[in-house]
């Protein structure tokens, strides 16, 4: 009995030591990161760093968080952020965000309000700590710009997971971002657009569906060596992309890869059902000038007439020889996927 009691006491002491050593390492690591960021000229401030959760978790809380790159005019401010990890699997962490945060971007300040907003990151338990999955989800998310526009999301998910079927550096990006509520002022602008021979916009206040699956290929795995290997995208395959806003529906599917010169090349087929709702959106968004809308609409009608279903407009986004086009419409230079050398 004494031996059993001694063994239990020894195990408790070892586990307690493990927890306290780990919590001290977490605290020092966070404080060190803030100090390094400040030394590099960034704004990196907090009002307190605590670690709790003994004996089963490391619960990190950073209060009064403010990060900013003044040169780039980007920043983030939050009253707190909490990060949790179980002591027996520290390669899986979960972050919880406050109900309100502030994001600073050039020429604007955006207030984020959310409910149950959480992020999780899971690495494979190996020495390289390769990314297994990263995920962001919430019951709701609202964006309010200082310039006046708003955007709202209901329950949503956004995630990236490693997919062995896509190779050592292959990942699947999945998302479900609806119901989505665009800025009411923008919706009102869409409804106010009048284009001859096209119906008045009947789009509802909310985008009912926006989900998809995209396969991504990188030049190197996303792991703890990423700072040295600097992975970049070499392949983008749109497996599924679906959106529905009232009677307007969109699907997309296709493959983009880096060509011999490092530019994006390939085709993505986009099909728009009830395309006659699209020109008004393009005008309200400032993509098409109002006086050009009738010409654009006639062009879409001519292209749709080539389809068995006149309500469906099928166009290819084509990237070839360093240029992009959408159907017959040129879009300019294609983006470079492979960074230039030398």
Closest C-alpha among 214, 105, 208 to residue 153: 208
Q: What is the pLDDT of residues 294-313, one digit of tens each?
A: 999 999 999 999 888 999 99
CA dist list (Å): 340 to 207, 261, 336: 39, 9, 9
Beta bridge partners of 265: 257
- Please state the domain extents for the chain: 1-90, 163-342
pLDDT band at 83 (very low <50, low <70, confident <90, very high): very high
Q: What is the pLDDT of residues 180-231, one digit of tens each?
A: 999 999 999 999 999 998 988 999 999 999 999 999 999 999 999 999 999 9
Q: In this structure, what are the phi and psi dihedrals at residue 30, rounded to the nearest 5 degrees?
A: -65, -45
Q: What is the CA radius of gyration of the chain?
A: 25
- Average pLDDT on 319-324 reads 94
Closest C-alpha among 42, 44, 88 to residue 62: 44
- Decide if pLDDT at 12 tops 60: no
pLDDT on residue 341 = 76
Beta bridge partners of 70: none
Closest C-alpha among 147, 150, 223 to residue 180: 150
Q: What is the pLDDT of residues 106-156, one digit of tens each?
A: 999 999 999 999 999 999 998 999 999 999 999 999 999 999 999 999 999
User: Residue 11 corresponds to which tokens in the numbers above?
Assistant: 């195990």
């Amino acid at each position: 009995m004494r031996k059993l009691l001694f063994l239990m006491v020894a195990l408790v002491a070892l586990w307690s030591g493990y927890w306290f050593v780990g919590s001290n390492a977490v605290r020092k690591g966070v404080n060190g990161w803030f100090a390094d960021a400040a030394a590099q000229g960034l704004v990196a401030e907090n009002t307190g760093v605590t670690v709790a959760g003994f004996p089963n978790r490391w619960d990190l809380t950073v209060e009064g968080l403010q990060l900013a790159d003044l040169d780039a005019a980007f920043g983030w401010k939050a009253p707190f952020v909490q990060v949790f990890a179980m002591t027996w699997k520290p390669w899986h962490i979960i972050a919880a965000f406050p109900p309100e945060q502030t994001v600073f971007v050039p020429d604007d300040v955006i207030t984020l309000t959310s409910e149950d907003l959480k992020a999780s990151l899971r690495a494979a338990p190996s020495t390289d700590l390769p990314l297994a999955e990263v995920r962001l989800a919430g019951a709701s998310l609202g964006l309010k710009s200082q310039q006046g526009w708003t955007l709202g999301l209901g329950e949503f998910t956004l995630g990236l997971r490693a997919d062995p079927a896509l190779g050592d550096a292959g990942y699947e990006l999945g998302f479900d971002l609806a119901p989505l509520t665009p800025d009411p002022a923008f919706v009102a602008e869409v409804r106010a657009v009048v284009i001859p021979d096209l119906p008045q916009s009947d789009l509802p206040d909310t985008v009912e569906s926006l989900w998809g699956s995209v396969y991504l290929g990188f030049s190197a795995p996303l792991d703890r060596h990423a700072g040295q290997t600097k992975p970049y995208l070499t392949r983008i395959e749109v497996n599924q992309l679906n959106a529905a806003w009232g009677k307007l529906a969109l699907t997309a599917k296709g493959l983009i890869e880096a060509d011999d010169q490092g530019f994006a090349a390939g085709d993505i087929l986009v099909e728009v059902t009830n395309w006659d709702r699209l020109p008004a959106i393009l005008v309200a968004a400032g993509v098409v000038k109002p006086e050009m809308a009738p010409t654009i609409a006639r062009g879409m009608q001519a292209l749709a007439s080539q389809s068995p279903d006149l309500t469906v407009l099928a166009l290819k986004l084509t990237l070839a020889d360093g240029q992009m086009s959408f159907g017959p419409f040129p879009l300019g230079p294609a983006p470079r996927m492979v960074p230039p050398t030398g």
